[in-house]
Amino acid sequence: MGFLSELHRFSDWALLILRIGAGSVFLVHGLQKRGMWSVQPSEQMPARMVNVLRALSIAEPLGALSVLGGLLTQLGAAGFIIVMVSAIRLKTAQMHKGFSDDGGWEIDFVLLTVATALLILGAGRFSLDRLLLHP
């Protein structure tokens, strides 16, 4: 048990790993939404949904770059929390998906918990936040 009790020494590395994981996912998913700028509203995708996806095509990559670089990490994490709560609400209320259904919201929940941890804990030592804002 001595080894496990000493792992807290690596908490800054763990925060870096969380930032890389969350930032990578949001960067990829945000960039995938760029195609929404050429989509026209339809019955399947109303104008409101198209506009939300267009906004996310900008917000998600910006938040991802913020979290990846560790600059304004907690603000980026707060944005991720809003996105994930909205995604879970969409999947549960409108799509009627269960937690582990095909296309369910279990991954959304994991990203929500990672974003919440980053909001609470901040970026850690290996970040631009620490370098620029808390020298």
pLDDT tens track for 75-88: 999 999 999 999 99
Q: Phi/psi class of residue 70: alpha, beta or left (left: φ > 0; alpha: ψ in -120 to 50)?
A: left
pLDDT tens track for 7-63: 999 999 999 999 999 999 999 999 999 999 999 999 989 999 999 999 999 999 999
Q: Where are the domains of the chain?
A: 15-129
Which residue in 87, 83, 90, 86 sits closest to 119, CA to CA?
83
User: Mind giving me the DSSP string for 15-69?
Assistant: HHHHHHHHHHHHHHHHHHGGGGGGPPP-SSS-HHHHHHHHHHHHHHHHHHHHHHH
The residues near 95 (Cβ < 8 Å, ≥ 6 apart) are: 103
